[in-house]
Amino acid sequence: MSTMLDITDIARATGLSSRALRFYEARGLIRPLRSEGGRRIFGAGELERLHAIVALKRAGFTLAAIGQMLDRPGAALAPMIAAQAKAVDAERRALAETAALLTSIQSRIDAGERIDVATLCSLIRKGNAMTTTQWKLVVDRHFTEEEQAHWATRMETLGPDFDLNAYQARWADLGQRIAAAMPMDPDSEAARGFVREWFALLAPFRAVASPEMWAGATRLHENRADWDGQADPGFSADVWQFIQAAGAAMRARGEEPGG
């Protein structure tokens, strides 16, 4: 009979935390057995699968992509590798541009130029102008001109005081905090807190969005594999998938995420 390991042994063997292992189990990436006492126990197959997950995450693959590769070993890898290479290259270029921008600003400060926070934000916004262009390319592929015009008309109802840059910055901050806390149990109180914050941040959009807009936005993120790495909504594909899982867990408890 093969040796069976408990969750503590597996965490030690893989370098993963017990919380990460529970998260992977919740996502269906691993399927440990249960002892008579209810403890998770792992065989050699699950240990090998976990080592594969660690290796693939190191290459930047999303958990969704990892699940597909492990559950369909006969699937063609070339398209997935090509897509991931493209995403990594886009991220590398974005980081290089950010580093160049910060170096340029630092050199101006070193030369004696006084740059306050407002000026810094202005320089960053100008440096991120390409992001708008990248989003336009993604949107053009997924929405018709009529749909985009409808969106623009509805978004105008938010009024002139609505600060889109500040709003996008709040999404980036939330996305980073969720990513830093992952992996976590989608059915935990911490996860529910993030879901509530997520839907609170969605409030301006929900206030003006028609059912068609809401469905279109959901469809865009569900098809993120088609454009991931080409534009940045402020949160990763893994964060999006986690919020979907945590929202489903809340609904199963009888609580509507959006209130």
Residue with tokens 């969605």: 202
- What are 164-182's pLDDT values in tens digits? 767 877 888 888 889 888 8
Confidence of residue 2 (pLDDT cuts 50, 70, 90): low
Hey, how many other C-beta atoms are within 10 angstroms of the C-beta on 235? 21
Burial of 154 (0-12, 13-18, 19+ CB in 10 A): middle
Nearest-angstrom CA–CA distance, 147 and 209: 12
- What are 105-132's pLDDT values in tens digits? 787 788 787 888 887 777 776 665 555 6
Peptide bond into 183 cis (omega under 30): yes
Confidence of residue 25 (pLDDT cuts 50, 70, 90): confident
- What are 225-254's pLDDT values in tens digits? 777 777 778 788 889 999 999 999 999 999
Nearest-angstrom CA–CA distance, 69 and 63: 10
Please, which residues bridge with residue 153 across strands?
none
Domain assignments of the chain as residue spans, ordered by start: 5-71, 76-127, 131-259
For helices 145-155 and 211-222, angle between their N-to-C axes, nearest 10 degrees: 120
Confidence of residue 197 (pLDDT cuts 50, 70, 90): very high
Which fold, 5-71?
Multidrug-efflux Transporter Regulator; Chain: A; Domain 2 (1.10.1660)
15's torsion region: left (phi>0), alpha (psi -120 to 50) or beta? Answer: left
The dihedral over CA atoms of 87, 89, 90, 92, expressed in degrees to the nearest 10, equals 120
Is it the case that residue 216 has pLDDT exceeding 50?
yes
**How large is the average pLDDT for residues 83-96?**
77
Burial letters 91-122, b for 16+ CB under 10 A, else e: eeebeeeeeeeeeebeeeeeeeeeeeeeeeee
Is it the case that residue 188 has pLDDT exceeding 90?
yes
Q: With contact defined as beta carbons under 8 Å apart, do 44 and 14 qualify?
A: no
pLDDT at 104 (0 to 100): 76
pLDDT at 196 (0 to 100): 94
Confidence (pTM): 0.54
- Residue 29: name the closest of 80, 58, 71 by CA: 71
pLDDT at 1 (0 to 100): 41
Q: With contact defined as beta carbons under 8 Å apart, do 197 and 128 qualify?
A: no
- Angle of CA points 112, 96, 178, to nearest 5°: 100
